[in-house]
Amino acid sequence: MHWASLTDFAEMGGHALYVWGAYLVLFGALAWELVLLLHRRRRALDDARQHALLFGPDPDSAQNVPNR
Amino acid sequence: MAVRACRLLSQGLQSPLLLRAVNTATTASPQVSRDRRREVDGASLQSLFALAGGVIPWFAVAAALFAAASMTVGLVFAPTDVQQGEARRIVFVHLPAAWISLLIFFAMALCAVLGLLLGRRMASMLATALAPTGALMGFVALWTGAMWARPVLGSWWGQSGLAFELLLLLLLYFAFIAQQAAATEDPRRADRNGALIVLAGAVNLPIFHFALQWWSTFEQGQLDGLMRLTVSAGSLDLACVLLMVLAACAYSVAAALHRFRSIVLEREKASDWVRHQVGAA
């Protein structure tokens, strides 16, 4: 362990702004990408479902349902 | 405005000579084999879609573990640097971000070449899926670079061409992403234009890099020395950075594959298997 106390760790030898600023932006950027990824999948799935509803059902189901 | 600028950019890329070269490369074969190729392409898309769904969680967990290990070493156990003080700890995330950003760009270039030459949609979709993650890493690298340079060198921008290189890389990513966003109605054209941007970048980045190294008037040597990793027994630098590189690789694979699945759904929603897939879900 390099640090004597938790305050020491937080202060980063007077460079707290830079060190934590770097790590905070890193994790902020990752979180932002995660949100974008999930949002895009949600939209793509909804779109694909809508398309399947509008332009006919799944081709396999036509064979599975008799008298159609 | 931005969209219009991108349209102009993409029009500029459509020089007749380039277009003819690309067209002969992608459509020279007869109709029958093109249909056959499309079929094979669809099958490979479907199998990668399924495979990606299975491996994404594993890559995500690996990324989290490697990152946690690297940060524990880098933030808690690594000693203070004599010259740079605690700001040295920023290098442990800056270097991996910069490397992975470059790596992703060259992976995109590889995909773009395959997409252009073989007419494989999968390769182009992978390039498209990689781009935002690469841009994000490029941004993180620039930001952390500034955060390191301010306390150590006394200026946000540093005094080296390296920052310019990162900026150029980021701009190339933006150009790629923006032209894809501008040409949503014709994905194949977007793929082709994107491939040209990435290829131009992949040729120019090394030239830019070596030009800066050979003719730079900046104090390149001094900066390189400061950024350099101490590789010796008992030094935690290398372990820390390598762990973070592994984390970044795993994260990028997970994010790109996740985005790839969305792109497949967007572009292939008319195909039988996607309708089956979303109908079953």
Q: What is the pLDDT of residues B16-71, one digit of tens each?
A: 555 555 555 555 455 666 667 677 777 888 899 999 999 999 999 999 999 999 99
- Above 80 in pLDDT, residue B227? no
Q: Give the residue on B whose Cα is nearest the Cα of A11.
A: B86
CB A31 within 8 A of CB B136: no
Confidence of residue A68 (pLDDT cuts 50, 70, 90): very low
What predicted TM-score, i.e. pTM, was given to this entire model? 0.81
Which residues in chain A (7-36) have CB-CB distances under 8 A to chain B? 9, 12-15, 18-19, 21-23, 25-26, 29-30, 32-33, 36
State whether B269 and A36 contact (CB < 8 Å).
no
Confidence of residue A63 (pLDDT cuts 50, 70, 90): very low
CB B171 within 8 A of CB B117: no
- Above 80 in pLDDT, residue A34? yes
- Above 70 in pLDDT, residue A11? yes
Of the spans A33-42, B20-29, B187-196, which averages the highest pLDDT?
A33-42
pLDDT tens digits, residue range B102-153?
999 999 999 988 888 887 888 999 999 999 999 999 999 999 999 988 888 8
Higher-confidence residue of B119 and B166: namely B166
B90 touches chain A (CB under 8 A): yes
pLDDT of the residue at B31: 60
- Above 70 in pLDDT, residue A49? yes
Q: What mean pLDDT comes out for the span A27-37? A: 96
Q: At what angle do helices B187-215 and B16-27 cross, to 10 degrees?
A: 120
Average pLDDT, chain B: 82
- Above 90 in pLDDT, residue B261? yes
> End-to-end alpha-carbon separation of chain A, Å?
73
**Cβ neighbours of B255 in A, within 8 Å:** 33, 37
Tell me how close the Cα of B146 comes to any Cα of chain A, in angstroms: 9
- Above 90 in pLDDT, residue B157? no
pLDDT of the residue at A62: 47
How many residues would you count in chain B? Answer: 281
Say how far apart CA B122 and CA B114 lie, in whole Å. Answer: 9
Say how far apart CA B244 and CA B195 lie, in whole Å. Answer: 29
Quick one: what percent of chain A has pLDDT higher than 90?
43
Higher-confidence residue of B207 and B176: namely B176
Q: What are phi and psi of B81, to 5 degrees?
A: -80, 140
Tell me how close the Cα of B81 comes to any Cα of chain A, in angstroms: 11
Q: Give the residue on A whose Cα is nearest the Cα of B90.
A: A19
Tell me how close the Cα of B229 comes to any Cα of chain A, in angstroms: 18
Q: What mean pLDDT comes out for the span B159-176? A: 86
Which one, of B268, B188, B201, lies nearest residue B22 by Cα? B188
Say how far apart CA B48 and CA B51 lie, in whole Å. Answer: 5
Q: Mapped to the 3 state alphabet, what secondary structure does B48-87 carry? A: HHHHHHHHHHHHHHHHHHHHHHHHHHHHHHCCCECCCECC
pLDDT of the residue at A27: 95
pLDDT of the residue at B32: 60
Phi-psi region of A67 (alpha: psi -120 to 50; beta: other; left: phi over 0): left
| Residue B185, token pair as written in the block | 């109605």
Q: What mean pLDDT comes out for the span B81-103? A: 88
Of the spans A38-42, B43-47, B164-168, which averages the highest pLDDT?
A38-42
DSSP string, B122-138: HHHHHHHHHHHHHHHHH
| Residue bearing tokens 């949503």 | B184
Q: What mean pLDDT comes out for the span B156-170? A: 81
- Which residues, other chains included, contact B26 with Cβ-Cβ below 8 Å and sequence gap of 6+? B116, B119, B192
